[in-house]
Structure 1
Amino acid sequence: MVLQSLPRSGVAFRKILSHFPEELSLAFAYGSGVYRQAGPNANQKNPMLDLVFTVDDPVGWHSKNLKKNWSHYSFLKVLGPRTITTVQNNFGAGVYYNPLIKCDGRLIKYGVISTSILIEDLLTWNNLYIAGRLQKPVKIVAMNENATLRAALDKNLKSAVNAAFLLLPESFSEEELFIEIAGLSYSGDFRMMVGEDKSKVLNIVKPNVVHFRELYGTILQENPQVVYKIQQGRLELDKSPEGQFTQLMALPKTLQQRINHIMDPPGKNRDVEETLLQLANDPDCSEVVRLGLSAIVRPSSMRQSTKGIFTAGMKKSVIYSSLKLHKMWRGWLSKAS
Structure 2
Amino acid sequence: MALQTLQSSWVTFRKILSHFPEELSLAFVYGSGVYRQAGPSSDQKNAVLDFVFTVDDPVAWHSKNLKKNWSHYSFLKVLGPKTITSIQNNYGAGVYYNSLIMCNGRLIKYGVISTNILIEDLLNWNNLYIAGRLQKPVKIISMNEDVTLRSALDRNLKSAVTAAFLMLPESFSEEDLFIEIAGLSYSGDFRMVVGEDKTKVLNIVKPNIAHFRELYGSILQENPQVVYKSQQGWLEIDKSPEGQFTQLMTLPKSLQQQINHIMDPPGKNRDVEETLFQVAHDPDCGDVVRLGLKKSVIYSSLKLHKMWKGWLRKTS
Q: Which amino acid aligns with 1:300?
A: S
Q: Which amino acid aligns with 2:115?
A: T
- Tell me: CA distance 1:309–1:205, structure 2 relative to 1, closer, same or farther (3 Å): farther
Offset of residue 295 of structure 1: 1.9
8 Å CA contact 1:97, 1:308 repeated in 2 = no
For 2:280 and 2:168, the matched residues in 1 are separated by: 14
State the partner residue of 2:27.
27
Q: Secondary structure at the match of 1:149?
A: helix
Q: Which amino acid aligns with 1:200?
A: K
**Alignment of 1:117 onto 2:102:** no
State the partner residue of 2:12.
12
Q: Secondary structure at the match of 2:112?
A: strand
TM superposition outliers: structure 1 runs of 4+ over 4 Å:
4-9, 193-196, 302-311
Number of corresponding residues: 308
8 Å CA contact 2:32, 2:44 repeated in 1 = no
8 Å CA contact 1:242, 1:280 repeated in 2 = yes
Q: Could you state the TM-score of these two structures normalised by the residue count of structure 2?
A: 0.92
For 2:190 and 2:305, the matched residues in 1 are separated by: 10
Identical counterparts, % of pairs: 79
State the partner residue of 1:205.
205
Cα offsets for 1:157-198 (capped at 9, x unmatched):
000000000010001000000000000000012453688621
Structure 1: runs of 5+ lacking an equivalent: 312-337
Q: Where in structure 2 are the equivalents of 1:105-184 lying within 5 Å?
A: 105-184=105-184
Q: Could you state the TM-score of these two structures normalised by the residue count of structure 1?
A: 0.86
Q: Secondary structure at the match of 1:12?
A: helix
Structure 2: runs of 5+ lacking an equivalent: 312-316
Q: What is the alpha-carbon root mean square deviation over aligned residues?
A: 2.3
The structure, 1 or 2, with the larger RCO (C-alpha pairs under 8 Å, 6+ apart) is: 1
Cα offsets for 1:9-44 (capped at 9, x unmatched):
721011101111110000000110100001112245
- Tell me: CA distance 1:192–1:71, structure 2 relative to 1, closer, same or farther (3 Å): farther
8 Å CA contact 1:53, 1:112 repeated in 2 = yes
Q: Secondary structure at the match of 1:110?
A: strand
- Tell me: CA distance 1:256–1:6, structure 2 relative to 1, closer, same or farther (3 Å): farther
8 Å CA contact 1:6, 1:214 repeated in 2 = no
8 Å CA contact 2:120, 2:126 repeated in 1 = yes
State the partner residue of 1:45.
45
8 Å CA contact 2:36, 2:44 repeated in 1 = no
Q: Where in structure 2 are the equivalents of 1:1-337 lying within 5 Å?
A: 10-192=10-192, 197-301=197-301
- Tell me: CA distance 1:49–1:132, structure 2 relative to 1, closer, same or farther (3 Å): same
Cα offsets for 1:191-232 (capped at 9, x unmatched):
536886211100000000000000000100111111001111
